Chain A
Amino acid sequence: MMSLIEANLPALQVVLPLVAAPLCALLGRGDRSWAFACLVTFVTFAVSVALFAETYAGTIISYRMGGWEIPLGIEYRVDRLNAFVLLIISGSAALVLPYARRIVAAEIPAERQPLFYTAFLLCITGLLGITITGDAFNIFVFLEISSLATYALVASGSWVNKRALTAAYNYLIMGTVGATFFVIGVGMLYMITGTLNLADLAVRIVEHGDSSTLRMGFVFILIGIGLKLAMFPLHLWLPNAYAYAPSAVTAFLAATATKAAVYVMLRFMFTVFGFDYEFQADTLRMVVLPLAVIAMFAASIVAIFQDNLKRMLAYSSIAQIGYILLGLTFLTETGLTASIVHLFNHAVTKAALFMVAGCFVLSAGTCSISKLGGIGRDMPWTTAAFVVGGLSLIGLPLTVGFISKWYLVLAALELGWWPVALMIMASSLLAIIYVWRVIEAAYLQPAPEGVVRKEAPLSMLIPTWIFIGLSIWFGINAMLTSTAAGRAASALIDSSHILWKE
Chain B
Amino acid sequence: MNNADLLLLAIAIPALTPFLLAACGKQPNLRDTVSVLASIATFAAVLPLLLAVIDGARPAISLIEVMPGLVLGFEIEPLGMLFATVASGLWIPTALYSIGYMRGAHEKKQTRFAICFAIAIASAIGIAFSGNLFTLFIFYEVLTISTYPLVAHKETPEAKKGARTYLAILMTTSILFLLVALIWTWNIAGTTEFRAGGILDGRLDPVYAPFLLALFAFGIGKAALMPFHRWLPAAMVAPTPVSALLHAVAVVKAGVFTMLKVGTYIFGVGFLGKTGASDWLVWLAAASILIASIVALTKDDLKARLAYSTVSQLSYITLGMALAVQMGVIGGAMHIVTHAMGKIALFMCAGAIYVAAHKTKISQLDGLGRKMPVTFACFTIAALSIIGLPPFAGAWSKWYLMIAAADANQLIIIGVLMVSSLLNVAYLLPIPARAFFLKPKEDKAHGDAAASRIEEAPLLCLLPICFAALGCIVLFFTIGGLYEYLLSIPIRPESLP
Residues on A facing B (Cβ under 8 Å): 391, 394-398, 403, 405-406, 409-410, 413-414, 421-422, 425-426, 428-429, 432, 436, 440, 443-444, 476-479, 482-483, 486
Contact = CB atoms under 8 A, between A and B. Distances in A.
B64 A444 contact: no
A482 B65 CA distance: 12
Contact of A482 (B67, B160, B176): B67
A432 B169 CA distance: 11
What 4 pairs across the A-B complex have the smallest Cβ distances?
A397-B138, A425-B176, A409-B183, A413-B187
Contacts of B171: 394, 429, 432
A413 B183 contact: yes
Nearest to A439: B148
B8 interface: no
Interface in B161-181: 164, 167-168, 171-172, 175-176, 179-180
Given A409-B180, A414-B187, A421-B180, A429 B68 contact: no
B172 A477 contact: no
Given A440-B160, A444-B152, 4 more contacts: A394-B175, A398-B142, A414-B187, A479-B67
A396 B175 CA distance: 8
B163 to A, nearest CB: 8
Interface in B97-148: 137-138, 141-142, 145
A444 B67 contact: no
A333 to B, nearest CB: 13
B72 A476 contact: yes
A444 B187 contact: no
B280 interface: no
A397 B67 contact: no
Among B72, B137, B168, B175, max chain A CB count under 10 A is at B175
B180 A476 contact: no
Interface in B60-90: 64-68, 72
B183 A410 contact: yes
A426 B176 contact: yes
A477 B64 contact: yes
Contacts, number: 71
Contacts of A414: 187
B67 A476 contact: no
Contacts of B187: 410, 413-414
Contact of A396 (B65, B145, B168): B145
Contact of A479 (B68, B160, B184): B68
B232 to A, nearest CB: 19
Contact of A398 (B68, B138, B152, B168): B138
9 contacts: A395-B175, A396-B141, A403-B67, A413-B183, A428-B175, A429-B175, A443-B149, A478-B66, A482-B68
B67 A478 contact: yes
B186 interface: yes
Nearest to A410: B183
B425 to A, nearest CB: 40
A425 B181 CA distance: 12
A483 B72 CA distance: 17
Contact of A444 (B138, B141, B160): B160
What is the predominant secondary structure among interface residues of chain B facing chain A?
Answer: helix
A425 B175 contact: yes
A413 B179 contact: no
B155 interface: yes
Interface of B: 64-68, 72, 137-138, 141-142, 145, 149, 152, 155, 160, 164, 167-168, 171-172, 175-176, 179-180, 183-184, 186-187
Contacts of B167: 432, 436
Contacts of B176: 422, 425-426, 429
A454 B68 CA distance: 43
A396 B65 CA distance: 17
Nearest to B152: A444
B133 to A, nearest CB: 12
B184 A413 contact: yes
A405 B141 CA distance: 15
Contacts of B72: 476
Nearest to A413: B187
B145 A391 contact: yes
Contacts of B160: 440, 444
A394 to B, nearest CB: 8
A407 to B, nearest CB: 8
A476 B66 CA distance: 5
Contacts of A436: 164, 167
Contacts of A405: 179
A248 to B, nearest CB: 30
A477 B66 contact: yes
A389 B68 CA distance: 24
A258 to B, nearest CB: 25
A410 B179 CA distance: 10
A395 B155 CA distance: 26
B68 A397 contact: no
Contacts of B180: 409, 413, 421-422, 425
A436 to B, nearest CB: 7
Among B67, B152, B186, max chain A CB count under 10 A is at B67
Contacts of A396: 141, 145
A406 B183 contact: yes
Contacts of A397: 137-138, 141-142
B179 A425 contact: yes
Contacts of B179: 405, 409, 425
Nearest to A474: B66
Contacts of A482: 67-68
Given A477-B64, A482-B67, A444 B155 contact: yes
Nearest to B64: A477
Nearest to A446: B155
A410 B186 CA distance: 9
Among A406, A426, A477, A482, max chain B CB count under 10 A is at A406
B108 to A, nearest CB: 13
Nearest to A395: B175
Contacts of A394: 171, 175
Contacts of B68: 479, 482-483, 486
A26 B33 CA distance: 63
Nearest to B135: A397
Contacts of B141: 396-397
Contacts of A429: 171-172, 175-176
Nearest to A482: B67
Contacts of A422: 176, 180
Contacts of B137: 397
Contacts of A443: 149
B228 to A, nearest CB: 14
A477 B72 CA distance: 10
A395 to B, nearest CB: 7
B268 to A, nearest CB: 21
A113 B186 CA distance: 53
A398 B183 CA distance: 16
A216 B471 CA distance: 78
Contacts of B184: 413
A193 to B, nearest CB: 38
A425 B173 CA distance: 10
B29 to A, nearest CB: 24
A410 B181 CA distance: 11
A215 B43 CA distance: 68
Contacts of B145: 391, 396
A199 to B, nearest CB: 30
A401 to B, nearest CB: 11
Contacts of A479: 65-68
A425 B160 CA distance: 25
Among B149, B152, B179, B187, max chain A CB count under 10 A is at B179
Contacts of B152: 444
A440 B164 CA distance: 9
A391 B149 CA distance: 15
Contacts of A395: 175
Given A391-B145, A440-B160, A444-B155, A406 B67 contact: yes
A443 B109 CA distance: 12
Nearest to B157: A444
